[in-house]
Each structure stands twice: as structure tokens, then as C-alpha cells.
Structure 1
Amino acid sequence: MTDEALVELKRLTVRFDDRPVVDHVDLRVRRGDIITIIGPNGAGKTTLIKAVLGIQPISGGSLSMTPGLTIGYVPQHLTLESTLPISVKRFMLLSGRPQKQCLDALAKTGIEHLFNASVHHLSGGEKQRLLLARALARRPDLLVLDEPAQGVDINGQAALYDLIRSVRDDLNCGVIMISHDLHLVMAATDRVICLNQHVCCSGYPADISHDPAFIETFGQPVAESLAVYHHHHNHSHDLHGDVVSGEDDGHRECSHAHH
């Protein structure tokens, strides 16, 4: 991993009607980093992401990027007019990338077999993987994901976070991710930033869940309230989260998280 920052925020501030929504935030993302931003509703998480994407003007501080940086963005939801017929192929080609590049991205996310399917017939997990594939078709240096596991069941979420780590490894890109899935994401990230307009606390997942500022915002430490997602698979899941294969003894266990 290089120390060169792909994107760096210094005391970045965004105000709406003179009210700070993001207040003096510092953030540095390098190649290979997976940084997850957590926080309560209204904490400024999506506003911060929009500032990084360049679609939200900043009110103060600075934001710098590596020249020529390519960003891939995965929004929370895929919203399409229900009366508009569109295939996965057409949706991907609208990105402006060559068909081969689109197919490679679909293969990375495990849904290349859906190339000719209707987007409207995809499951929640398949739609999220399609959004990720569209972002990957750009071959990004920085991948930005806003609640990537929305509408996906618990096992599908675990598989999706595994996929994001795999993409990071393959592309050696940086990743910024917003998530509420604390029980999974604390094991799927390298660094956590707890945001509530300002940065309440930040650090490694194993440490931050015991930080007083984290506990004040989210309650007792994650390790005490949840079985955090650290385990080994002896099987795999399909896009819907169902077990599809296991070891020869037929013993298939899965304990991604327990409340």
C-alpha cells in the first residue's frame, strides 16, 4: 500500500443556510484502504460523500485529489421507471464503456449470466451487484459506496462485503463506504469513521467500538451486543443468500451475525 493519498479532506465543511452539516472533517484515503463512515441519520454522511464526488460544493476547508483520478460510485438504490423496459446489457452500455469491459465487470460481481435479463426482474442482491458492476466498468481508482447492502438479506450482505474486499484487492483501489450494518461492516473494513456532523471518533474496528464517543452514539460496544462477522466459510451463498455448496461431509454452518 502506498502512502500517497487518492483523496484528502482537510477541515472540510459544508453548510446549509449557515448551519454546518459537515463540520471540519479530515479524511485521507490511499490505495488499498477500505474506510467506512458510520453515524446516525442526519449525521452528514451522504453530504460528505457528495462533496468527495464533486456534486456538493464545500463551504470551507479543502479537498484534494490525485490528478486523473477515476471514481466509481454505487448509490443506495437503483431507481428506474417501472414502465421503461431495460436490460442489464443496455443498462451497462449506458455507462459508455465497451461491451467487453461491461462483461468483465459483470463477471467480477458474479452476474454475467444475467446480461440479457430485464433489470426489473432482478432480486435486491442482483441489483446491488449490477450497480457495483457499473461502477467497476470504469476501472476506478476510488470506489464510493452509499449503503451498498440496502435491500439485501443478512447472508447476501456478508457476501457483498466479501465481494467489495475482493474488488479492492483486484483493483488496488481505495474504498469509501457508508453503512449502517455495524455487525458486518466492522469486520469488512480497515478503518471506521464515526460521523455526527464532525468526526466523533475514528480508528480500527476492534478499537473504535469501545471508544466513549462511539458508545454514546451507538450504545454498548458491538462485541458485547453482536457476534461480529469474523468466521470461516465451509460453503458459499448464491445472490439471494441461500447456501449452494459445502464441504463433502454436508455440514453447512453459518453464523454471520447474531443479535
Structure 2
Amino acid sequence: MKPLISLDNICLKQGERDILSHISLTLREAEITSVIGPNGAGKTSLVRLILGLAQPTSGHIQRTPRLRIGYMPQKLTTNTTLPLTVKRFLSLAHHSAMTTDQALQRAGASHLGSSSMHKLSGGETQRVLLARALLAKPQLLVLDEPAQGVDITGQEALYQRISDLRDELRCAVLVVSHDLHWVMAKTDSVICLNQHICCHGHPQTVSSDPAYLTLFGQETD
């Protein structure tokens, strides 16, 4: 599969504190890569580097030219005093290769277009955020805890939608997730992060790695 972005020996410091140390990884088209790790492991910092929102202290990041990235944050904060429909919210995106209707359809949220952003459930909000990430018709889709605030039934449907999108768009997907069961069942590659990459590879390989077992134990259900 074609590599879209590669990190080579990336380090990130905050003052004298090491946030990330010697990170090397490649994200390839049509592959789902999950990042797992304890709180404070540097997952959000890694996402910021990949998005280009932060620069490494050392090391090199190589992106395919004009790489289109769609980003879905953990949550959304909006001013509840302002009237804002879902379609109006989506229309505020800077770059759009899809129409709002197309993005909503792909995110499984076609019925929400005229709904108020302030009256959406947790699962509906995440679908709308996914639609916003899809507007750029991304080659790389970055999802930071996409099932945040979503009930169990909604989580299963959302993760299935993510898998379907990978197949439809042939995009790379990077998911930060605490859902170890889904990660191990549906991901092509897993990165176990704790400031450095503890282990990295196919879920079956990672799940038996001593570094993974130290952090998460035997059970992934």
C-alpha cells in the first residue's frame, strides 16, 4: 500500500520533559492504524504532529504532496446561544471536496441536516463530526476517540461505519481509541504508545507482546 505519511525518529520535548521519544511509523492508504496507550502516553501530541499542528523537536516527517487530511476531534464545544443547524455547521469548514449532503450520507447522518447542533445526542454529534472530517474527501482520516460519549450500540455502528469508509474511500485511518476489543478485532496495525512505541504490528502480534501485557493485561474484552 502507498505510504501517505512517515515519521522518522521523531522526538518532542516540552522544556526538559520528553513528550515523545524516537517515534518512527508509516501510515499507508486503505489501512486502519490504532494508537493505544495509558493517559499521558503522548497520544494527543502524536496526533498534533501528524496533523501539522505541532513541530517535532527532532526527527523528520514526510507527507505525500498535497495530502488531504480529515480530522475528527474527541468533542465539540459550541456557543449554545447561537442558532446553528448541522448543515450550517458543516458549511463553515474551510476546505470541501464533498457536498454537505454527501458527507452526511457517508457518515450515516443524512437525517440530521436540519437539526440543531445543540440538541444532538452524543452519538449524533460524533456522526456530524465524522461528516465534517469527510468534507475534504480525505486520503488520511484521523479520529481522536471517535466513540467518546456514545452508547454501546452506537459505538458498534460508528466503528463499522469507519471500517466501511476505509473500504469506500481507500483512505488511511488513524484512530486513537481505548476500545481494546474493537482495536484488536478490526485494526490492521496497532501502535502501543507510552512516550515511545512499546510495540507495533498486527493486533495478534501486539496482544501477546510483553510490553502490551504490562500495560493492559491479558483481557481485551
TM class by shorter chain equals: over 0.9
**1:21 aligned residue:** 19
**2:198 aligned residue:** 200
Quote the offset at 1:189 in angstroms. Answer: 1.1
Quote the offset at 1:96 in angstroms. Answer: 4.0
Query: Which stretch of the first structure deviates more once superposed, 23-32 or 81-90?
Result: 81-90
Quick check: which has more Rg, 1 or 2?
1
Cα distance, 1:97–1:51 mapped onto 2, change above 3 Å: closer
Deviations 1:103-127 (A, max 9, x none): 0010111211111110111111110
Deviations 1:179-208 (A, max 9, x none): 011122221211100000000011111221
**1:215 aligned residue:** 213
- 1:147 aligned to 145, 148, 151, which one? 145
**SS where residue 40 of structure 2 aligns?**
coil
- Within-5 A mapping of 1:85-100: 85-96=83-94
**1:183 aligned residue:** 181
**SS where residue 156 of structure 1 aligns?**
helix
User: What do you get for the CA RMSD once the two structures are aligned?
Assistant: 1.4
Distance 2:183 2:201 in 1: 14
TM-score, with structure 2 as normaliser: 0.96
| Unmatched runs of 5 consecutive residues or more in structure 2 | none
The answer to whether the 8 A contact 2:108-2:161 is kept is no
**SS where residue 99 of structure 2 aligns?**
helix
Quote the offset at 1:18 in angstroms. Answer: 2.2
Identity of aligned residues (%): 50
**SS where residue 58 of structure 1 aligns?**
coil
Distance 1:79 1:177 in 2: 21
- The residue identity in structure 1 corresponding to 2:70 is G
The answer to whether the 8 A contact 1:8-1:63 is kept is yes
**SS where residue 67 of structure 1 aligns?**
coil
**2:115 aligned residue:** 117
The answer to whether the 8 A contact 2:98-2:136 is kept is no
**SS where residue 62 of structure 1 aligns?**
strand
| Unmatched runs of 5 consecutive residues or more in structure 1 | 227-259
- The residue identity in structure 1 corresponding to 2:49 is A
Deviations 1:19-63 (A, max 9, x none): 111110111011111000000000000000000111112101110
Structure possessing the higher relative contact order (Cα contacts under 8 Å, 6 or more residues apart) = 2
Distance 1:27 1:194 in 2: 12
Query: Which stretch of the first structure deviates more once superposed, 152-161 or 69-78?
Result: 152-161
Distance 2:163 2:25 in 1: 20
- Within-5 A mapping of 1:1-259: 2=1, 4-96=2-94, 101-222=99-220, 226=221
How many residues are matched? Answer: 221
Deviations 1:138-192 (A, max 9, x none): 1011001100000001121111111001111111111111001112222121110
Distance 1:189 1:196 in 2: 19
